[in-house]
A and B are shown apart, each in its own frame.
Chain A
């Protein structure tokens, strides 16, 4: 992986979507049709390349990750590797009408267990608003609702706060789900209570692994099995990329690294 730019957080402790950055993997523009779910599948330079598909009956896992940043304003930071399953793009943050969404179904983690909603700013928000998302949970129950809060945000930042009074630096990467639901299968509608400006993409993601980058330019390495007693499984077609939070605010850095996969 070699990202030449990364979204500016705007404030320390915000979260940002590393897929919205130039380099390898290539920039994710969240292309899609408004009001529809667009599935994301890793292929070529879109998402981290995970290698060839394993033979039938074999599983692919992550056995090693490495990260490094080139500027001091990027560290310390906390990275999470996610499988980006798809997104609902062009969510209009100026509209207070209910924005219905249609879905074709997840192609990975099809029951939605462990799948989270990640609101990514694609056109900057300029004000604060409450957003209510209606979704189907991992048990197949539709009409579940979750509420989060958006603030002024830059492109590529994850604009989600769990608290009405939370401002910049007090955000969370995922929408807090209703009554501790265990995941999301699809989103049915999105409604804002006020105009916040700009557009969001609501991305359905499956968290796989976290990595800590303590300082620049020291390389951070992890062997999940030895360091976390786990072997994160990677499903066929996985579209992998990173999100991060940092103690610094003005971060746009070259971030490089690798992920090693094994299967059997």
Chain B
């Protein structure tokens, strides 16, 4: 598993063809973004296609490479299952030609799954069902974030809390601090991220000592946002790597073997997608283009 030497690596990715390149492109929607916030690019048009968050309300939807969410195959393709070999990211690159697209940060995550249909107009605990079968043992490193995907989020202040099972199997863990969602948040803003008081992002903060999530039992909003049928999805995802974009039209690249020796492992079935941190007010219809190279052995 993996490579035992540079010679082994060269043989595997050249002679044995254990290599996959993914070229992706995403374009933001009709509304401009706000500086300092995180956005889930899986919901954007382009290549791969957009994630439309289907599923039965409050029931876990598992996501993987080959089937996506069961309706849209929205994750980056990375060459299929390779076990007993292990797959790793070799390098990533991205660029945008729109000035307001930078500075920004792209974060590659493995979206393990989500619960949709969470009402942002409800101030009572919303029980979530379904047991995630995580690709990461015991949920180690798995984090959660929430974003609206349907309806209109109201302008009334509202906070979020969750009750979750941590990496050790302890249930009933809650967020250690008050986490504020954004009034009138747009799709696909990760609603609790931003520059306002009690904003945290891209992931919800975990309780003292926790470093992963196995499952989430419920979501509770502190108040109704008083919106028009606003629905949100709570996502479980494991961060893989980050890629800063600093300058318009100047591509950003990261070599994960020589430059940043890490070779992030990509498990079979990983549903890879990007999160975007907008350092500036990203204009509507801003194009981001990039590539990811994978190798295995």
Report which A residues bind B (CB closer than 8 A).
12-14, 59, 61, 76-78, 114, 116, 161-163, 165-167, 169-174, 176-180, 182, 207-208, 210, 212, 214, 225-231, 233, 245-248
Contact = CB atoms under 8 A, between A and B. Distances in A.
Contacts of A174: 23, 25, 47
B158 interface: no
Contacts of B167: none
A171 B20 CA distance: 24
B253 A246 contact: no
A13 B90 contact: no
A111 B46 CA distance: 23
Interface of B: 10, 13-15, 17, 19-21, 23, 25, 27, 30, 45-49, 68, 72-75, 77, 90-91, 93, 95-98, 247-251, 253, 255-259, 284-287, 289, 291, 293, 295
A165 B30 contact: yes
Contacts of A14: 97
Contacts of B250: 76, 78, 212, 214, 247
A187 B100 CA distance: 36
A226 B96 CA distance: 24
Nearest to A183: B77
B255 A247 contact: no
B258 A226 contact: yes
B249 A13 contact: yes
Contact of A180 (B21, B77, B91, B253): B77
Given A59-B15, A210-B93, A231-B13, A172 B249 contact: no
A13 B72 CA distance: 29
Given A245-B249, A246-B97, A233 B49 contact: no
B183 to A, nearest CB: 26
Contact of A13 (B17, B74, B96, B256): B96
A13 B97 contact: yes
Contacts, number: 142
A202 B91 CA distance: 29
Contacts of A169: 97-98, 287
Contacts of B291: 207, 210
A77 B249 contact: yes
A13 B100 CA distance: 12
Contact of A227 (B97, B255, B295): B255
A216 to B, nearest CB: 13
Contacts of A207: 21, 23, 291
A177 B91 CA distance: 23
Given A78-B251, A247-B249, A180 B47 contact: yes
Which 8 interchain pairs have the tightest Cβ spacing?
Answer: A13-B97, A247-B249, A229-B257, A180-B73, A180-B48, A229-B90, A212-B251, A228-B91
Contact of B91 (A59, A162, A230): A230
SS class, residues of chain A in contact with chain B: loop
Nearest to A57: B15
A245 B150 CA distance: 34
Given A180-B47, A226-B255, A246-B97, 11 more contacts: A14-B97, A77-B249, A162-B287, A166-B287, A167-B285, A170-B98, A176-B46, A207-B23, A210-B291, A227-B259, A233-B17
B72 A179 contact: yes
Contact of B289 (A208, A228, A231, A245): A245
A139 B289 CA distance: 25
A258 B13 CA distance: 24
Contacts of A182: 77
Contact of B19 (A161, A179, A230): A230
A61 B14 contact: yes
B166 to A, nearest CB: 33
A233 B17 CA distance: 9
Contacts of B285: 163, 165-167, 170
B125 to A, nearest CB: 35
Contacts of B247: 76
B27 A163 contact: yes
Contacts of A173: 23, 25, 289
Given A13-B287, A165-B285, A170-B285, A228 B45 contact: no
Contacts of B96: 13
Contacts of B256: 229
B27 A179 contact: no
A229 B20 contact: no
Nearest to B72: A179
A179 B71 CA distance: 9
B75 A176 contact: no
A180 to B, nearest CB: 4
B47 A176 contact: yes
B27 to A, nearest CB: 4
B27 A246 contact: no
Contacts of B30: 165
Given A76-B247, A167-B285, A180-B49, A231 B97 contact: no
Nearest to B13: A231
B286 A170 contact: yes
B226 to A, nearest CB: 30
Contacts of B47: 162, 172, 174, 176-177, 180
